[in-house]
Amino acid sequence: MFSKTSKSALAATALAGVSLALSAAPAQAQINGMASADIGVAVAGSQPLQSGYEQIRTTYQAQITQAEQLVQQRQGLIQQLDTNGNGQLDEAEQAALNDSNPTVQQINTIDQQIAQVQAPIQLAQLYVVNQVGQQYAPASQQVMSDRNIQIMLAPEAIDFAADGINVTPAVIEAINARLPNVSITPPQGWQPNQATIQLMQQVQQVRAIVAAQQQQAAAPAANGATPPR
């Protein structure tokens, strides 16, 4: 059976049931020596990434709480500028604002504070993503060797594919085996390169997709309904 590939489907497979997907997948999950894996999904779904992010949440809990409080303050100020009460600043409302407006000045100050508070958190996340991302190529090569795959394609290179071509769960398992732990403390002076920044954006996109799917799945349960199967 053929289906159109999508990042949301890959994300669901990676983060909502990697072990189940692996147990259900055939030992040679490939099509004529070709397979597909998504680096963003693989990194986001890996155990070292998730454990690293959990360490960051624990270590920087005070800063995270402070940032959340600042965001709430900012939202309150935005509401003061929302003259038509529609919950957002439309073009007319934005056009009427300038930097001399006291509320705008407060918002700009809070934006600077948020950026300052979030900076060490984001740097730690980038460092974790960098460490996991470095294992993607060797993990993919291991999967290719184990499964006799000659060509590994990124999902964006495929419009439609037969079931079984996605080996991202296997790559995740290989990453987990290669990298049991990560550090959340970058070396002094460490800065991410552009590739790490781009990978971070992909990881955040995958995590956002999964969070939205989990929220949607939880909604029927909260209302006492049984989710459709």
Q: Rounded distance, CA 24 to CA 27, Å?
A: 9
Supply the pLDDT for residue 2: 42
pTM score, whole prediction: 0.80
Q: Which among 127, 125, 122, 138 has a CA at the least distance from the CA of 42?
A: 138
Supply the pLDDT for residue 79: 86
Beta strand extents in the chain (DSSP E only): 2-4, 34-36, 151-153, 160-162
Q: Which among 115, 109, 100 has a CA at the least distance from the CA of 77?
A: 109
Q: Which among 139, 140, 135 has a CA at the least distance from the CA of 181?
A: 135
Domains of the chain by residue range: 2-53+117-222
Supply the pLDDT for residue 98: 80
10-residue stretch averages of pLDDT, the chain, 229 residues long: 50 46 44 88 96 97 96 90 77 77 90 97 98 97 93 84 84 96 96 97 94 82 58
Supply the pLDDT for residue 154: 86
Name the pairing type of β-strands 151-153 and 160-162.
unpaired
Q: What are 176's two structure tokens?
A: 């987990």
